[in-house]
Structure 1
Amino acid sequence: MRLFKLPAVKIFGAFLAGVLVVIAVAFAGNWPGLPHLSWAEDNGVVQAAPLPGLGPDVIPNMVAGAGPAVVRINTTTISNVSQSNPFLNDPFFRQFFGNQYSIPTQPQESHGLGSGFIVSPDGYILTNEHVISGVSEIEVTLSSREKPYPARKVGADSELDLAVLKIDAEEELPYVTLGDSDSVRVGDWVVAIGNPYGLDHTVTVGVISAKGRPMTIEDKQYRNLLQTDASINPGNSGGPLLNLKGEVVGINTAINAEAQGIGFAIPSSTVKAVFEDLVNKGSVDHPYIGVYLQAVTKEAAKYFGLSDLNGAIVASVVRGGPAYTAGLRQGDVIIGYNGNGVTNPNQLIELVQGTAIGSQVEIKFIRGGVENSVVVTIEAKKS
């Protein structure tokens, strides 16, 4: 699998050099119901102390119940690579023979590893999209069975980094249910199960360190991630982050390679919002208004004559998009969305995320020191 690493933070001086974020986010739909899942010293031997407030059997019992639903995902990618031939790259050779000789290619296999978890007894599996992106073959292995199941992709969304797979088995499969990530508190105990470095069903324990983290990891922009200090390593991607009830509150997604004890997970609330679309349609429709945004800095506030740093600057508008059609233009500062005050671009993104495609919303903005408003119709983002 491809591991996402956090890039170094880049500092930008001028306000128009800020990072631009496109507002194209997933509409929160309805989630189909899923069935519920079914240290002291003694004689000189030092035993591990229990976690504060927990009995010694809480985590082992939870892992015993939820662990069988965690799977290893092996992928194979077949690509054509050019064969090395020194004559074909020699200028003297090409001077006489020209480009009539093409460089031959041959198929080459590459392999990846990730984690996932079963969410229904008939074999639906959740994982990260980047675990299975562009692969030719997917195999899923359960802890109770040595022979892997062939798996097929049911649906995937690169923007959310979520994918649903399906395996077919003659018997009912063990599964876990999705919990409520919105009710998770900072400091709550969580358990990560996965296959780091190919070490199957590795269990690590930690707490929720923070909620609502925005993060840019390689070419992906994540919003609203859970941060945890439970150890997450290469191979953990797609595995579950569980509460002590054995419910999935997040999908392990990334680690900070520059620091220890910092991992991130996609909240289960995000998964619930799009699971039905991934299963039924194979994709997710993202609400879209077609603007690129930038935060209001002190320099920007002075330039635009703003009294504070609240709002989201329209850095550019997609011509022909919903915002452009409604009349928004580059340099407008959005301060309101459908009756809600806008303090920063991330908040505006979350507001759009909760809006149904086809809805009409009032957007208030400042242009040339004067407050204005337009009505924008939310559209689905085109692929």
Structure 2
Amino acid sequence: MKSSLNFDKASLANYLVIALVGLLVGGLLVSVNSERVVAKKNTNVSPQIFKQNVFADIASEVDSAVVRVNAKIKIDSKKMKRQNPFYNDPFFKKFFGNDFPKGKNGHPRIRQGFGTGFIISKDGYILTNEHVIHNADQVTVKLTDRKEPVKAELVGSDFRLDLAVLKINLDEELPTVELGNSDKIRPGDWAVAIGNPYGLNHTVTAGVISALERPLRINQGDKPRLYENMIQTDAAINPGNSGGPLLNINGKVIGINTAINAQAQGIGFAIPINEAKKVLSELKKKGKVIRPWMGVYMQPVTKEIADYFGLNSTRGALIADVMPGSPAEEAGLKAGDVILEFNKKEVKSPDDVVDLVNKSKVGKDIILRISRDGNKLFLTMSLGERPKEY
């Protein structure tokens, strides 16, 4: 990243000497153009040197609250043998050796994964990504001041948001990070990522917020993860950084490092911390995020559809299919119905229905105004809890 500062030959020479010394001692040297931060400090150190220490100060302040998360998953070797046609192939064994997921005497093989998390309360609650501990049989965390890992309990998780809350129980108050406000960040703001890339202990990288509200799809087995509102940053995020904090220049958490673009450099993604704050209490109390559910597939009303059903406009949401046993089926909704109103609120598109359902609570009675075979009807539907598989 290029600095916006201009140097004459003398100051440039001094700068190069400073940079060389910093590299020899392993320091992180990045120029931060932040007069606001400098103005707060009363120091005899030159502004240039102080700016270079901002990231080191942030790392030092939050380092003890960032933990390494280790997950152990038992893999059924018999099941893997059935799924992998090359399991006993001598040719592939020659190249891959013991990398095939098998255990001795038919016992399950243990696969280990790792990631990062951060402590959000003095009594040991930790926030991380769900994919870090997905299907884990055992989870431990490694604190910076302890040689041995500490057993962690999975308190709650949510696949859709890719969030998980862990809990460790120690007879001491633990260091914590402060949660910031991700709604106030802007492209161009500084960002600092701390994590354990590739299993290495704490690593600090810095960059800027590149963009906001990025949609992202990541294929994971037969169930893809769909992210709708990601922070994009060029601060390096590598495997093992997942679940770690993305911090602002004040050392407050603004995001949870989650993913990278494998085809490009300098493109990483983080979940906005405000998304986590919305469901944090629910994850701690109930172990999951409870979402309301109708159980329908919908599509927009096109001009052709409007003409076919005798509608005056293309407003509304056409029900393409109703899921068996869903609240919609119990309410009497059918494929071909067009939802016109949701609790007296006009429905212009399927997105309106999705938004209104998400803002409602499970068990709430909803009055729908629909069009069916050219007739206007009112139906009452009680929203259910969204099944885990949807």
TM-score (norm: length of structure 2): 0.72
Q: Which residue of 2 aligns with 1:320?
A: 325
Distance change (3 Å), C-alpha of 1:139 and 1:327: same
Contact 2:291-2:361 within 8 A present in 1 as well: no
Q: Which residue of 1 aligns with 2:285?
A: 280
Distance change (3 Å), C-alpha of 1:319 and 1:232: same
Matched, 1:222 2:227: yes
Structure with higher Rg: it is 2
Q: Which residue of 2 aligns with 1:293?
A: 298
Bigger Cα displacement from structure 2, 133-142 vs 336-345: 336-345
Question: In structure 2, how many angstroms separate the alpha carbons of the residues matched to 1:345 and 1:223?
Answer: 17
Secondary structure in 2 matching 1:272: helix
Bigger Cα displacement from structure 2, 188-197 vs 353-362: 353-362
The alpha carbon displacement at 1:261 in A equals 2.9
Correspondence for 2:55 among 56, 59, 78? 59
Question: In structure 2, how many angstroms separate the alpha carbons of the residues matched to 1:301 and 1:208?
Answer: 44
Bigger Cα displacement from structure 2, 213-222 vs 189-198: 213-222
Correspondence for 1:73 among 60, 63, 69? 69
Q: Which residue of 1 aligns with 2:142?
A: 141
Secondary structure in 1 matching 2:108: strand
Distance change (3 Å), C-alpha of 1:187 and 1:45: closer
Matched, 1:264 2:269: yes
Matched, 1:237 2:242: yes
Name structure 1 gaps, 5 residues minimum.
1-38, 90-102
> Quick one: percent identity of the two aligned structures?
47
Distance change (3 Å), C-alpha of 1:291 and 1:224: farther
The alpha carbon displacement at 1:141 in A equals 0.9
Bigger Cα displacement from structure 2, 113-122 vs 163-172: 163-172
Matched, 1:155 2:164: no
The alpha carbon displacement at 1:349 in A equals 3.1
Secondary structure in 1 matching 2:387: coil
Q: What's the C-alpha RMSD, in Å, of the aligned pairs?
A: 3.3
Question: In structure 1, how many angstroms separate the alpha carbons of the residues matched to 2:348 and 2:56?
Answer: 44
Distance change (3 Å), C-alpha of 1:44 and 1:209: closer
Distance change (3 Å), C-alpha of 1:147 and 1:183: same
How many residue pairs get aligned? The number is 328
The alpha carbon displacement at 1:146 in A equals 2.6
Distance change (3 Å), C-alpha of 1:208 and 1:297: farther
The alpha carbon displacement at 1:269 in A equals 2.4
Q: Which residue of 2 aligns with 1:36?
A: none
**Alignment of structure 1 residues 97-112 onto 2, 5 Å:** 105-112=106-113
The alpha carbon displacement at 1:53 in A equals 3.3
**Alignment of structure 1 residues 331-350 onto 2, 5 Å:** 331-334=336-339, 336-338=341-343, 342=347, 345-346=350-351, 348-350=353-355
Q: Which residue of 1 aligns with 2:251?
A: 246
Q: Which residue of 2 aligns with 1:189?
A: 190
Question: In structure 1, how many angstroms separate the alpha carbons of the residues matched to 2:285 and 2:181?
Answer: 23
Distance change (3 Å), C-alpha of 1:45 and 1:250: closer
**Alignment of structure 1 residues 26-37 onto 2, 5 Å:** none
Q: Which has the higher strand share?
A: 1
Higher relative contact order (CA 8 A, sep 6+): 1
Q: Which has the higher helix share?
A: 2
Bigger Cα displacement from structure 2, 181-190 vs 160-169: 181-190
Q: Which residue of 2 aligns with 1:126?
A: 127
Alpha-carbon displacement from aligned partner over 1:253-305 (angstroms, at most 9, x marks no partner): 22222333332222222222222222222222111111223456788778778
Question: In structure 1, how many angstroms separate the alpha carbons of the residues matched to 2:309 and 2:246?
Answer: 44
Which amino acid in structure 2 is aligned with residue 108 of structure 1?
R
